[in-house]
Amino acid sequence: MTNQDRALLHFHGGGYRAGAPELSRPLAGHLARRVGAEVTVPPYRLAPVHPFPAAVEDGLAAYAALLGRGFAPERTAVVGESAGGGLALAVLVAAREAGLPMPGAAVGLSPWLDLTVEAPSYERCAATDPVLGRTDLLDSAVLYLAGADPRAPTASPLFASAETLAALPPVLLQSSRDEVLADDAVRFGKRMAAVGGDCRVELWEDTTHCWQLFVDRLPVAVRAADCVAAFLRERLI
């Protein structure tokens, strides 16, 4: 299941106020086997007891620890779903600010990248997303931010500077076309493309928020996870 040359750092979802590593482990294990990598699914502190930037601090520490164990950054990737997908990109923003090297790739699955909760998809997909809604995410954002600016790049990677976006490694974003977070992925991809970055955005049909987590029971989840694994194998060379 592991390969000492490659490493995946996988962040769980839960709106920064819930969730646990156990929920991500079936998917993380699937990716580890398909990529041939060691996988770490770290816990991180949650709101409201530990608001922003606690999660980013913990995520950055986990990334630094992985590099400290001797994994080459170009053979390392950060992955996450939902808020964990946003955290994966936020950790890279923080890593650049801290002077740490970028990993070889990053993946966000139904990522929450904009904590202003203002994307058009909240209205457009309100009737087609059975998992999330604007009110739920606004509540999570308020608890997590605790008064901090929702446009801070380590809270909402969508608002990272052009220089930071250009410095990011290749990124893969997968979202359901019918979920309220669809526009987060699309807008992030457009921002990276505008500065010459490498960001692949996949909008999947007939799926729901974070369907990839059901890799142990849904064929469409296996197909999506295998696309992620292929992306990572190509880049963690």
Q: What is the CATH number of the domain that holds 212?
A: 3.40.50.1820
Taking the C-alpha atoms of residue 146 and residue 139, their distance in angstroms, rounded to an integer, is 11
CB proximity list for 26: less than 8 A, separation 6 or greater: 213, 215, 216
Range of the domain at 138: 7-235
Where in the sequence numbering do the catalytic residues fall?
82, 179, 209
Question: Does 172 map to a domain?
Answer: yes
Q: Would you say residue 2 lies in a domain?
A: no
- Count of domains observed in the chain: 1
Q: Cα(8)–Cα(28) distance, rounded to whole angstroms? A: 8
Q: What is the pLDDT along the chain (237 residues), one digit of tens a residue?
A: 344 599 999 999 999 999 999 999 999 999 999 999 999 999 999 999 999 999 999 999 999 999 999 999 999 999 999 999 999 999 999 999 999 999 999 999 999 999 999 999 999 999 999 999 999 999 999 999 999 999 999 999 999 999 999 999 999 999 999 999 999 999 999 999 999 999 999 999 999 999 999 999 999 999 999 999 999 999 998
Is there a domain that residue 28 lies in?
Answer: yes
Alpha helices in the chain (DSSP H): 21-35, 54-68, 83-97, 121-124, 134-145, 162-167, 182-194, 219-235
Q: Tokens 């990716």 label which residue?
A: 31
Instruction: For residue 91, tell me if it sits in a domain.
Output: yes
Residue 1 in any domain: the answer is no
Classify residue 177: in a domain, yes or no. yes
Q: Which residues of 196-231 are buried (b: 16+ CB within 10 A; e: fewer)?
A: ebebebbbbeebbbbbbbbbeeeebbbebbebbbeb
- Answer yes or no: is 93 within a domain: yes
Q: What is the pTM of this model?
A: 0.97
In-domain check, residue 67 = yes
CA distance 87 to 81: 9
